[in-house]
Amino acid sequence: MKQRIITALILMALVIPAALIGGRVFTLLIGMIMALAIYELLKIMHLSTWNIFLDIAVYLYAFYVVFIDDSMFFVSSFAIVLFAILLFAFSMVLECLDISKINFLLGFTTFVCIGLHCILNIRLKFGFSSILFIAIATYGSDTGAYFAGVTLGKHKLIPRLSPKKTIEGSIGGILLGTILATVFVYFNPLDLTLLQSAFLAFILTMTAQIGDLTFSSVKRYFKIKDFSNLLPGHGGILDRIDSLLFNCLVFALFVTYFLL
């Protein structure tokens, strides 16, 4: 627990100032996160044949999706189709790159990178307060679920994906995350109305848990505990930003419908 707290404090000391400053500093931070996330995605597939050209193709695709594509939130289909074609071409020469790994690499690389693309544009379009709002709803849900689960948890939520998560914990996470995010918005209004913001906070606390369980299912599939050991006490970078990525996509969908 001590190591987990120390790592969390170091991460906060790096991430919060970068997000507050924005601009190139925040872009550099997202670039570092992207590079580490792609490393973890490639690592967990356990490809028996290492291929530098495949790695370069994946990183170039990730870089394009996160930084080059000029869409506000969601990238063009051209890049996705081109990446799919490249992966199928690589499968012709890499026997270890079977159809299941192609689907995973295409789907999850796209998902993670669009999430990071959304984070960049949310910060640019809606400011630091929006990023903080998403983070409070996300990690408030995570914190509430943990403490409610420890103190009140009796009924398992989805044991095949996460044996420790409980229904009581899930409800506690929804309540705490919604309350904290709504209070934050009350004192730091977004472009949305307070009612819209409260409703969005409520949605984000639930989708945060869905995001966490989604990434847990990936780890179950690959029979790993964490995506890596890059962050002592926390696992990998994807173990820390799984729900946040999910929620940035949800936020983007919500504001696209109500504001754009």
Query: Are residues 252 and 73 in contact, defined by beta-carbon separation less than 8 angstroms?
Result: yes
The pLDDT value recorded for residue 126 is 93
What is the mean pLDDT of the segment spanning 184-213? 94
The pLDDT value recorded for residue 161 is 79
What is the mean pLDDT of the segment spanning 108-133? 95
Query: Got the DSSP string for 43-96?
Result: HHTT-SS--HHHHHHHHHHHHIIIII---SSS--HHHHHHHHHHHHHHHHH-TT
The pLDDT value recorded for residue 49 is 56
245 closest CA partner among 41, 83, 6: 41
Distance between CA atoms of residues 75 and 68, nearest Å: 10
Instruction: Return the bridge partners of 156, or none.
Output: 166
Q: What is the pTM of this model?
A: 0.92
In the three-class reduction of DSSP (H, G, I as helix; E, B as strand; rest coil), residue 52 is classed as helix
Amino acid at 189: P
